[in-house]
């Protein structure tokens, strides 16, 4: 257990900002150190893509370079402030890159970084799992699972 606590003391993980994680894991019984590392890596990945619009932003950018205003049209329920915040966080995490063209008015495009492209097979596996999960549900329950992001404007 001390190895777990030492890992959480590490600056790398502390920067993720989840102070409660350390306290929660003090009570958890892991079978081995590898399980701890695997769990931490999984939580780290989820923290990077966690956010109301982040998965949809990444999904849209997977198709290629996208301008800010195109993203606004693609995701009309996301406020400009929230969209900007999520884009900034994804850029800081190294998932997307922002390219500013010296034009007037300014032209800004977003695209996936090399690291961001590694999420594409992850998203494909999530899509497959979601399809499998929804097939096991009643049509009524499955329709309730679809977010208003997709069904309503």
Q: Report pLDDT digits (tens) over 95-135.
A: 999 999 998 888 999 999 999 999 999 999 999 998 898 88
What confidence tier does 65 reach under pLDDT thresholds 50, 70, 90? very high
Domain boundaries, the chain: 1-49, 52-152
Q: What is the pLDDT of residue 114?
A: 97
CATH fold of the domain at 52-152:
Arc Repressor Mutant, subunit A (1.10.10)
Q: What is the pLDDT of residue 149?
A: 44
- Mean per-residue pLDDT, 77-90: 96
Answer whether the bond into residue 105 is a cis peptide, omega within 30°.
Answer: yes
Q: What is the pLDDT of residue 20?
A: 59
Nearest-10 crossing angle of helices 33-49, 2-9: 30
What confidence tier does 140 reach under pLDDT thresholds 50, 70, 90? confident
Q: What is the pTM of this model?
A: 0.74
Tens digit of pLDDT for each residue in 19-44? 556 566 666 777 677 777 788 888 88
Q: What is the pLDDT of residue 19?
A: 53
């Amino acid at each position: 257990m001390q190895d777990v606590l030492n890992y959480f003391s590490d600056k790398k993980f502390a920067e993720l900002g989840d102070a409660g994680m350390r306290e929660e894991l003090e009570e958890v019984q892991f079978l081995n150190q590898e399980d701890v590392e695997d769990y931490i890596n999984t939580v780290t990945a989820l923290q990077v893509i966690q956010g109301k619009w982040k998965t949809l932003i990444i999904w849209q950018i997977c198709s290629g370079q996208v301008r800010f205003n195109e993203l606004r049209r693609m995701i009309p329920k996301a406020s400009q402030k929230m969209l900007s915040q999520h884009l900034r966080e994804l850029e800081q995490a190294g998932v997307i890159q922002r390219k500013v063209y010296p034009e007037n008015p300014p032209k800004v495009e977003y695209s996936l970084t090399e690291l961001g492209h590694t999420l594409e097979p992850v998203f494909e596996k999530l899509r497959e799992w979601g399809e499998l999960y929804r097939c096991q549900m009643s049509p009524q329950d499955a329709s309730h699972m679809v977010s208003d992001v997709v069904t309503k404007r």
